[in-house]
Each structure stands twice: as C-alpha cells, then as structure tokens.
C-alpha cells in the first residue's frame, strides 16, 4: 500500500480551482425541448335538469348511485320528519336541515338545531312513508 503525504504548507500555497466543463463543440447541435400541447375538448353545455341530477345523484368510483346522499337529499327537500336512532339507544326527532360527509344538522321545534355525527348514527327512519327512489325526486323543483 502506498502512502501519501502532503505538507500543510503545500496545501495552503496552492489555491483550489474547480474544473469548469468545456463548452460543446460547434458541430454538435443543441436539441430544442419539445412542447406538448393539450388536446382541445368540445364544451358541452349542461341543462338545468342535468346539473340538478349531477348534484343530487352523487356517484361513487364504481358508478353506483350513493343511496345515503339520495335518501338524505330527498328527506331534506321534502322537510320530512325523521327519527334518528343513535348507537347508544337515544332517538332524536326533527327534519334534516343540511348534511355533509360527516354530519347531519337536524332541526326540531323542541330542541332547536342539533348537529349529529354520522358515525354515531344507527339508523334514520322517516316518520311518513315516502318513495325517495322515484325519478322525480332526483330533480329539484
């Protein structure tokens, strides 16, 4: 094995100069970057019925109608009285004011507004019979 020794004075006397890459030869052509243009798609104007159907019929990734949103939307629009059965056995009576992915806001005469988390709900029962699967219930009127 070879030994390599350098004196500290030798290192301090010579300044460090990094190597600079040489410019390309004149014969070599520089390649221009390719510009990829997006394809133009035709604009489809939706009617009010199509918009309402799209909003109310939320679809999952498999293309199935989301029954939960369909049911809750119908009960909300009709202001139908519902009974919300909680996991701990309690019942809350009222009508659905609004809802999102995690909560349902109920409104009742006795207790005012109540925010209920969906993960605590066992079931929701409408107080009157209503067929929320009819085609007319998908379109707001």
Tell me, what CATH number does 55's domain have?
Answer: 2.30.30.100
Q: Is residue 82 part of a domain?
A: yes
Mean pLDDT by 10 residues, the chain (141 residues): 62 64 64 70 61 52 76 93 95 95 93 94 86 50 38
Would 23 be classed as within a structural domain? no
* Contact partners, residue 6, CB within 8 Å, separation at least 6: none
Q: Which pLDDT score, from 0 to 100, does residue 35 have?
A: 74
- Domain tally, the chain: 1
The predicted structure's pLDDT at residue 111: 84
Asked if 122 and 86 count as a contact pair (C-beta separation under 8 A), the reply is: yes
Write down the pLDDT at residue 137: 47
Q: Is residue 115 part of a domain?
A: yes
Q: Is the pTM of this model over 0.75?
A: no
Is residue 116 included in any domain, yes or no? yes
Q: For 26, how many CA atoms within 13 A lie in the half-sphere containing its CB?
A: 0
- The answer as to whether 79 is a domain residue is yes
Q: What are phi and psi of 94, to 5 degrees?
A: 165, -165
Predicted local confidence at residue 70, as pLDDT: 92
Residue 24 lies in a domain: no
Angle separating helix axes 67-78 and 48-56, nearest 10 degrees? 110
Range of the domain at 92: 49-128
In a domain, 60, yes or no: yes
What pLDDT does residue 127 have?
A: 85
Q: Is residue 107 situated within a structural domain?
A: yes
């Amino acid at each position: 094995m070879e030994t390599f020794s350098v004196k500290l004075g030798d290192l301090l006397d010579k300044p460090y100069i990094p190597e600079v890459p040489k410019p390309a030869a004149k014969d070599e052509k520089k390649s221009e970057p390719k510009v990829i243009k997006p394809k133009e798609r035709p604009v489809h104007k939706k009617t009010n019925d199509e918009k309402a159907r799209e909003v109310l019929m939320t679809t999952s990734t498999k293309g199935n109608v989301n029954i939960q949103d369909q049911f809750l939307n119908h009960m909300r629009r009709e202001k139908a009285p519902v009974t919300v059965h909680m996991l701990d056995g309690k019942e809350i009576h009222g009508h659905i004011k609004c809802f999102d992915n995690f909560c349902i806001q109920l409104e009742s005469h006795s207790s005012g507004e109540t925010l209920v988390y969906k993960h605590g709900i066992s079931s929701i029962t409408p107080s009157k019979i209503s067929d929320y699967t009819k085609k007319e219930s998908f379109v707001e009127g």
